[in-house]
Amino acid sequence: MEPIAESPQLQLTEQGQLRHFLTIEGLSKSLLTEILDTADSFVSMEQQSVKKVPLLRGRTVVNLFFEASTRTRTTFELAAKRLSADVINLNISTSATTKGETLLDTLKNLEAMASDMFVVRHANSGAAHFIAEQVTPNVAIINAGDGRHAHPTQAMLDMLTIRRHKGGFENLSVAIIGDILHSRVARSQIHALKILGVPDIRVITPNTLRPYDIESMGVKVYNQMSKGLADTDVVIALRLQNERMQSAMLPSQHEFYSRYGLSCEKLKYAKPDAIIMHPGPINRGVEIDSDVADSDRSVILNQVSYGIAVRMAVMSMAMSGQTTQNNAEGNL
């Protein structure tokens, strides 16, 4: 097994269907729109009393979480169950890898148990990519967050939230605030916003939390909320980890809150109908004020419920693409 130097369109079938969902980067506008449309149909299904569809009946989905997570794992589990799949949750950080088993061996074992889909969260950037490319290419891989690289389902549920509340993307001004450096969510959001045609994408952050040359991803960088928030339609606050104070990234929580915390006062710079988003879990009084988080402009809880629909959409699309590809290659 030799690593291959190039991975052209690793996540797509030869016909351009999704077979893994690893990153937003490189996907087409029509594919992202298809995900949003499919998710929309699942959102309306959630209003019904019977919430299940048989799209993944007889399939086994393994939630492989190498990093702790409650909400993301739960929404993936719910999404898989509503698609009628059998679901196994594995919290690997407390099992095999502490016994010295490598990621490679763990996955080979799970593949041998005839799994159809892995939902992977891992602390290393590129982990999902590695698994899809090198380890188990015939299992559909859904990236549930890898290091600082990508969190594509989170970005897509954010896009669904924006589309449902703003009607589209073409004329929007969107600001992402806070710890961009460590944020896989921000990176995936930026790619998605760009592809879907948002003309004005901004990040607001001190330079210690600003990735090198983030401008090359098509964003404008602001150090100050007054300028960065001016006339924005969508305001996204990111979670600030406590560790940032210890590693000399920031002086204190208080200083961060006073400069970058989303308060009613600072929100006045944005458009009056601007919506407030946050990938959660929120730190009240750090990156966002309670008054803002609980206001009628906040769509934070809508994001959570759309999360299930988006994950159902991505899982059903990837499973269908992977099955087509495996049939074409004669793997099944």
187/291 Cα distance (integer angstroms): 27
110/220 Cα distance (integer angstroms): 43
Does 122 bind another protein (CB under 8 A)? Our answer is yes
Using alpha carbons, select from 306, 219, 217, 157 the residue that is nearest to residue 26.
217
Position 116, amino acid: D
Does 212 bind another protein (CB under 8 A)? Our answer is yes
The partner residues of 63 in beta bridges, in order of sequence, read: 89, 119
Does 244 bind another protein (CB under 8 A)? Our answer is no
Does 249 bind another protein (CB under 8 A)? Our answer is no
42/259 Cα distance (integer angstroms): 39
Nearest-approach distance from CB 191 to another protein, in angstroms: 9
Does 2 bind another protein (CB under 8 A)? Our answer is yes
Using alpha carbons, select from 172, 200, 206, 198 the residue that is nearest to residue 32.
198
Nearest-approach distance from CB 194 to another protein, in angstroms: 12
Beta strands in 164-204 (DSSP E): 173-177, 200-204
Backbone angles phi and psi of 73, in degrees to 5: -65, -40
Tokens of 100: 């010295």
- Give the H or E element holding residue 238: none
Q: Output the 3-class SS for 33-92.
A: HHHHHHHHHHHHHCCCCCCCCCCCCCCEEEEEECCCCCHHHHHHHHHHHHCCCEEEEEEH
Nearest-approach distance from CB 178 to another protein, in angstroms: 16
Nearest-approach distance from CB 258 to another protein, in angstroms: 27
Does 216 bind another protein (CB under 8 A)? Our answer is yes
301/307 Cα distance (integer angstroms): 10
State which of residues 55, 90, 104, 245 lies at the interface with another protein (CB under 8 A).
104
Residues 63-82 as x/- pattern, contact with another protein by CB under 8 A: --------------------
With contacts defined by CB under 8 A, name the span among 42-50, 126-134, 296-304, 317-325 that binds another protein. 126-134
State which of residues 47, 48, 213, 243 lies at the interface with another protein (CB under 8 A).
213
Nearest-approach distance from CB 6 to another protein, in angstroms: 6
CB 205 within 8 A of CB 177: yes
Does 127 bind another protein (CB under 8 A)? Our answer is yes
Which CB atom, from 106 or from 173, has the smaller least distance to another protein?
106
Nearest-approach distance from CB 318 to another protein, in angstroms: 19
Asked if residue 281 has a cis previous peptide bond (ω within 30° of 0), the answer is yes
Nearest-approach distance from CB 1 to another protein, in angstroms: 7
Q: How many residues does the chain have?
A: 332
Does 187 bind another protein (CB under 8 A)? Our answer is yes
With contacts defined by CB under 8 A, name the span among 38-46, 48-56, 159-167, 211-219 that binds another protein. 211-219
Using alpha carbons, select from 300, 302, 292 the residue that is nearest to residue 269.
292
Which CB atom, from 146 or from 287, has the smaller least distance to another protein?
146
Does 134 bind another protein (CB under 8 A)? Our answer is yes
Does 111 bind another protein (CB under 8 A)? Our answer is no
13/23 Cα distance (integer angstroms): 15
Does 195 bind another protein (CB under 8 A)? Our answer is no
Which CB atom, from 59 or from 187, has the smaller least distance to another protein?
187
What residues from 11 to 40 belong to the interface with another protein (CB under 8 A)?
A: 25
Interface with another protein: number of residues (CB under 8 A): 34
Question: Position of tokens 């490319």?
Answer: 133
Per CB under 8 A, residues contacting another protein are 1-3, 5-7, 10, 25, 102-104, 122, 124-127, 129-130, 133-135, 146-150, 184, 187, 211-214, 216-217
